């Protein structure tokens, strides 16, 4: 395990360069020292976190089936990476890869690729896959807008979008992963009849997604407004939970699910 080391020189530099704010609310020397110590502690914590992220970036690249903007892999994922012809499933905005890892364990007859822009997040999923001996899961650092540059036409069998950023402001609607910006990308990389699965706790985002599908003349195959309250929900919808899903469910939010094809 990587150990963080901050040298005495670094600490000396930080303490010498640190300037406590001039604030009349802290007139006494004792208060100023306390403020200095608390601010210095925050600075040290931030430095440790930054170092840890850099370490995770480096470790991610060394783990099996991890990729960084792999434009040269277009059309070759099954053949070169998984060395089989099993269905290829993507999780977009996978974060720590919890869903990708869980699905790969439950469906060993399929290949899974988690996609996110932050490899320090996916490091956790890639490491878990290694520790569990999972060979049908991988992770890609990339921008989802570049999906068609990294996957060939009809190369993908299924897509999962789990708890994406809802981008609640209207001016940011184009960044929502169920917006008209992304649907044509999904359609291009999916095989005919390929499925998109969408799971969220955000009611406005769910309603927005249904409206977008309506605009594209797409009739959902399934609309589930309460995954955990509906006894007809597929077991993997109820049993596979990410950190955020558990957090949102604990707050009393209902989890919604939507499945559609083009």
Domains in the chain (CATH in brackets) are: 8-60 (no CATH), 66-261 (3.40.50.150)
Q: pLDDT by residue (tens digit) across 94-119?
A: 999 999 999 999 999 999 999 999 98
Average pLDDT over residues 250-258: 94
pLDDT at 15 over 70: no
* pLDDT for position 1: 42
Catalytic positions: 165
Q: Does 152 or 38 have the greater pLDDT score?
A: 152
Global pTM exceeds 0.85: no
Mean pLDDT computed over every residue of the chain: 87
Pair of tokens at residue 234? 């597929």
Whether the CB-CB separation of 258 and 223 falls below 8 Å is answered with: yes
Q: Beta strands 88-92 and 137-141: pairing type?
A: unpaired
How many other CB atoms are there within 10 angstroms of residue 149's CB atom? 14
* pLDDT for position 8: 47
Pair of tokens at residue 161? 């979008």
Strand partners, 92: 115, 161
Contacts 24+ apart (CB under 8 A), 126-130: 126/60, 126/63, 126/64, 126/65, 126/66, 126/97, 127/59, 127/63, 128/97, 128/101, 129/63, 129/64, 129/65, 129/97, 129/101, 129/104, 130/63, 130/64
Dist. CA 236–CA 203, nearest whole Å: 21
Dist. CA 184–CA 262, nearest whole Å: 10
């Amino acid at each position: 395990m990587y150990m963080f080391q901050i040298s005495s020189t670094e600490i000396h530099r930080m303490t010498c360069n640190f300037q406590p704010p001039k604030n009349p609310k802290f007139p006494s020397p004792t208060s100023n020292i306390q403020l200095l110590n608390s601010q210095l502690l925050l600075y040290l914590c931030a430095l440790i976190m930054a170092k840890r992220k850099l370490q995770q970036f480096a470790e991610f690249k060394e783990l099996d089936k991890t990729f960084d903007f792999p434009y040269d892999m277009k059309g070759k994922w099954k053949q070169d990476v998984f060395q089989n012809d099993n269905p290829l499933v993507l999780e977009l905005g996978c974060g720590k890869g919890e869903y990708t890892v869980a699905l790969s364990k439950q469906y060993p007859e399929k290949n899974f690729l988690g996609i996110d822009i932050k490899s320090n997040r996916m490091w956790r999923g890639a490491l878990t896959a290694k520790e569990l001996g999972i060979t049908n899961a991988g992770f890609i650092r990339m921008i989802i807008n570049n999906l068609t540059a990294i996957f060939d036409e009809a190369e993908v069998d299924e897509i999962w979008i789990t708890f994406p950023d809802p981008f609640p402001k209207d001016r940011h609607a184009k960044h929502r992963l169920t917006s008209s910006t992304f649907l044509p990308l999904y359609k291009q990389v999916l095989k005919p009849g390929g499925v998109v699965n969408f799971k969220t706790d955000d009611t406005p985002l769910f309603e927005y997604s249904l409206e977008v599908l309506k605009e594209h003349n797409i009739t959902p195959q399934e609309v589930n407004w309460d995954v955990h309250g509906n006894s007809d929900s597929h077991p993997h919808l109820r049993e596979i939970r990410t950190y955020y899903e558990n957090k949102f469910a604990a707050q009393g939010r209902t989890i919604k699910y939507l499945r559609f094809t083009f």
